[in-house]
Structure 1
Amino acid sequence: MKRKNAAHSGATDVEVFGWGGDEPLAWLGTAWECADNGRYYEPPVNQEDLIGLLRVGIHHASALHCKLNVLSSTFEPTALLSRAEFKKLAFNYLVTGNGYLAAERNRLGGITAFKNRLAAYMRRASPRAGKDGYFYLRSRVFETADFIPAADVVHLMQPDLVQEVYGIPDYLAGLGSAQLNRSATTFRRRYYDNGSHAGFIIYATDNNINQTDWDNLKSQFKKAQREGNFKNVFLRSPNGDKDGIKLIPISEVAAKDEFLNIKNVTAQDMLTVHRVPPSLMGVVPTAAGGLGDARTAAEVFAANEIGPIQAAFLEANDAAGAEVFRFKPYALAAV
Structure 2
Amino acid sequence: MTTPRMTVRAGDTPNYRSSMIDFALGDPEPCLDNRMTEYVGIWADMDGLYEPPISLNGLINLLGVNAQHGPILYFKANMIAKWFKPNPLINYRAFKRVAFDYGWSANAYLQVISNTFGQVIQLKHLPAVTMRYTKTSGVYVQLQKNGNKVFFNPGEVIHIKEYHPKQGIYGIPQYYGGIQSALLNEDATLFRRRYFKNGSHMGFVFSMADPFISPEDEKKLCDAILQSRGVGNFRSLFLNNRSPKGDAEKTVKITPVGDIATKDEFERIKKITTNDMLSMHRAQEALSGQSSGDSPGFGDLDKITKAYYNNEVVPLQHDMRTINEYLPKQQHIDFIVPDYSDFLTNGASV
Partners of 1:74 and 1:64 lie apart in 2 by: 17
Q: AA paired with 1:35? A: W
Alpha-carbon distance in 2 for matches of 1:78, 1:256: 53
| Contact kept in structure 2, 1:137 and 1:146, CA below 8 Å | yes
CA contact (8 A) 1:93 1:99 kept: yes
Q: Which residues of 2 match residues 273-312 of structure 1 at below 5 A?
A: 273-284=280-291, 286=293, 289-312=296-319
User: Is 1:272 equivalent to 2:279 in the alignment?
Assistant: yes
Tell me the residue number matched to 1:78.
Answer: 87
The amino acid across from 1:81 in the alignment is I
Q: For residue 328 of structure 1, what is the aligned residue in structure 2?
A: 336
Aligned counterparts of 2:34 and 2:92: Cα–Cα separation in 1: 36
Tell me the distance in 1 between the aligned counterparts of 2:29 and 2:99.
Answer: 40
Q: Secondary structure at the match of 1:171?
A: helix
- Residue identity over aligned pairs, in percent, reads 29
Which ranges of structure 1 fall in alignment gaps of 5 or more residues? 1-17, 226-239
Distance between the aligned counterparts of 1:288 and 1:315, measured in 2? 37
User: Would the alpha carbon gap of residues 176 and 314 (structure 1) be closer, same or farther in structure 2, given more than 3 Å must change?
Assistant: same
Name the CA distance, whole Å, in 2 between partners of 1:25 and 1:321: 43
State whether structure 2 residue 169 is matched by structure 1 residue 161. Answer: no
CA gap of 1:267–1:132, structure 2 versus 1, over 3 A, is same
For residues 251 and 288 of structure 1, what CA distance do their matches in structure 2 show? 31
How far apart, CA to CA, are the structure 1 residues paired with 2:225 and 2:39? 53
One-letter identity of the residue aligned with 1:138: Q
The alignment status of 1:315 with 2:309, answered yes or no, reads no
Question: Aligned residue for 1:41?
Answer: 50
Distance 1:105 1:98, change over 3 A: same
Structure 2: how far apart are the matches of 1:269 and 1:287?
A: 13
Preserved CA contact (<8 Å) 1:197 1:253 = no
User: Partner of 1:161: helix, strand, or coil?
Assistant: coil
Q: Secondary structure at the match of 1:177?
A: helix
Does structure 1 conserve the Cα–Cα contact (< 8 Å) formed by 2:188 and 2:269?
yes
Q: Once the 2 structures are TM-superposed, how far is the Cα of residue 143 of structure 1 from its aligned partner?
A: 3.6
Contact 1:285 1:291 in 2 (8 A): no
Residues 1-335 of structure 1: pairs in structure 2 closer than 5 A: 20=30, 26-27=36-37, 29=39, 33-39=41-47, 40-127=49-136, 132-139=138-145, 143-196=147-200, 199-200=203-204, 202=206, 208-209=213-214, 211=216, 214-215=219-220, 218-219=223-224, 222=227, 251-253=258-260, 257-284=264-291, 286=293, 289-321=296-328, 323-331=331-339
Letter paired with 2:64: R
8 A Cα contact 1:197 1:254, kept in partner:
no
- Structure 1 residue 318 displacement after superposition: 1.0
Q: TM-score, normalised by structure 1?
A: 0.76
Unaligned runs of 5+ in 2: 1-27, 231-246, 341-350
8 Å CA contact 1:102, 1:115 repeated in 2? yes
**Alpha-carbon separation, structure 2, partners of 1:331 and 1:206:** 82
Structure 1 vs Structure 2 CA RMSD: 3.2
Return the offset for 1:50: 1.0
Q: Which amino acid aligns with 1:218?
A: D
AA aligned opposite 1:173: G
1:227-254 residue CA offsets vs partner (Å, 9 max, x unmatched): xxxxxxxxxxxxx967666657664545
Bigger drift between 175-184 and 249-258 goes to: 249-258
Q: Is the 8 A contact 1:27 1:44 kept in 2?
A: no
CA distance in 2, matches of 1:25, 1:247: 41
Contact 1:35 1:42 in 2 (8 A): yes
Deviations 1:16-74 (A, max 9, x none): xx9745569635637xx311103200001110111111111322223212211111111
Q: Which residue of structure 2 lines up, in the alignment, with residue 15 of structure 1? A: none
8 A contact 1:206–1:241 mirrored in 2? no
Evaluate the alpha carbon distance shift between residue 158 and residue 316 of structure 1 in structure 2; reply closer, same or farther with a 3 A threshold.
same
1-side partners of 2:218 and 2:35: how far apart?
51
Partners of 1:167 and 1:317 in 2: how far apart?
A: 19
CA contact (8 A) 2:274 2:292 kept: no
Alpha-carbon contact 1:191-1:197 (below 8 Å) kept: no
Query: Structure 1 residue 113: deviation in Å?
Result: 0.9
The separation in 2 between residues aligned to 1:183 and 1:173, in whole angstroms, is 17
Question: Could you tell me which amino acid in structure 1 is paired with residue 338 of structure 2?
Answer: Y
Q: Deviations over 1:98-150 (max 9, x none)?
A: 000112333454332111111011000124xxx741111113xx642111223
